[in-house]
Amino acid sequence: MRHLLSIEELDRTAIERICDRAASFAEVSDREIKKVPALRGRTVLNLFFEASTRTRSSFELAAKRLSADVVNFAASGSSVEKGESLKDTVLTLNAHKPDAIVIRTPWAGAAALVAQWTPAAVVNAGDGKHEHPTQALLDVYTLRQRVGDLDGASIWIVGDVLHSRVARSNVLAFQQMGAAVTVCGPPTLIPRGIEALGCEVRYTLDELPSADVVYALRMQNERMDQAFVPTIREYAAQYQINGRRLRPHQVLMHPGPVNRGVELSGEVVDSPQAVITMQVEAGIVVRMAVLYEVLAGRAVSPAPAPEPSIA
């Protein structure tokens, strides 16, 4: 795998391979010294054009546990704010000879565009409302750990699908793994034509009890440039996953950060059905696996320093 730009380009075998590798890395996180030398001498550059703490630190930890060097480049306070174009930013950063660029932007297709401008492997950490492939991979990994095989499973993705790159990637990934996916939310937050991804669309939670997995999305207030729902109160009344709606057999997921009392009630977040912290843990090992996939087969770009001989 040269880059990870979208789930669309992964088949089931590739997803399973990444999950299996992630499982093999899980043991590293439990060690006293949480490090393996797999990517020693490689440079991973985190290029984030959007605020992100958890995804960025998850990638940073993943890279460090594989012994890679990590450089964080945040768009705020940088030349980007002085009007530098994405292309010039990437060309400049190329001079640092990164082996991988992990990029998050508010623009669909930007990761694929960056892949044209750099010899480094590019990992998409979220491109606008398009995709967030490592999120989908860690969600598949989490579900494989928790419920096993996803063939025939019913997964409901509930909430603001319109603004969600997580929803797009997860619909594709869950379906690749054999699950049937339903997206559900207010009609104003379901994009027209989303059925083209292969999912079902529902506007009420009436059939939610049939789901094996309930995946709640964050109400993205930061993306709301118009009033898509009359009030958050009405949204919660219609779509909140709470103790009344969540059935005991169901697994509850959320990409974080959770708005308690909006898309999820506090009691379900804290319930044993919620695997939200498992997802965060999975994030590190899955991103280790992804970085390993895109980097392990590659020649190290700068000539590695000779090992000091220990005679």
Partner 1 sequence: MSPSPFDPARALVQAPAPPAELLISRAHVLDPRTGIDAPHDVAVRDGVIAQVGAPGSLQAPAGAEVVDGAGRHLLPAFVDPHVHLRVPGQEHKEDVETGTRAAAAGGFCAVVAMPNTDPVVDSAPVLRSLRDAAARDARVAVGFMPAITRGLNGTELTEMAELRAEGALGFTDDGKPVVSAGMLRKALQYQRLTGGLLALHEEDPSLSGRGAMHEGTVSAMLGLTGIPSVSESTMVARDAALAGYEDGRVHMQHLSCIESVRAVAQAKELGVRISAEVSPHHLCLTDEAIRETHAGPGFLDTNMKMNPPLRTEADRQALIEALRSGVIDCIATDHAPHARDEKEVPFEQAPMGTTGLETAFAAVHTELVLPGVLALGLVVERMTAGAALLGLPVPRIEPGAPANLTMVDLEADWEVGEDGYESRSENCCFAGRRLRGRVLMTLAGGSVAYRERALTAVGA
Q: Which residues bind partner 1 (CB under 8 A)?
A: 5-6, 8-9, 85-87, 105-113, 115-116, 127-131, 165, 168, 191-197, 225-226
SS3 for 44? strand
Question: Cβ 106 to partner 1, closest distance in Å?
Answer: 8
**Percentage helix, strand, coil for the chain under 3-state DSSP, each rounded to 5:** 40, 15, 45
Q: Nearer Cβ to partner 1, position 28 or 194?
A: 194
**Joined tokens for residue 96:** 């640092």
Question: Cβ 147 to partner 1, closest distance in Å?
Answer: 27
Question: Cβ 116 to partner 1, closest distance in Å?
Answer: 6
Q: Nearer Cβ to partner 1, position 61 or 111?
A: 111
Q: Nearer Cβ to partner 1, position 8 or 69?
A: 8
Q: Report the distance separating Cα 122 and Cα 196, nearest Å.
A: 27
Q: Nearer Cβ to partner 1, position 197 or 300?
A: 197
Question: Cβ 164 to partner 1, closest distance in Å?
Answer: 9
Specify the residue for token string 């093999």.
24
Q: Nearer Cβ to partner 1, position 88 or 149?
A: 88
Q: Report the distance separating Cα 43 and Cα 154, nearest Å.
A: 40
Q: How many CA atoms lie within 13 A of 189 on its CB side?
A: 30
Q: Are strands 69-74 and 43-48 parallel, antiparallel or unpaired?
A: parallel
Question: Cβ 93 to partner 1, closest distance in Å?
Answer: 16
Q: Report the distance separating Cα 288 and Cα 103, nearest Å.
A: 15
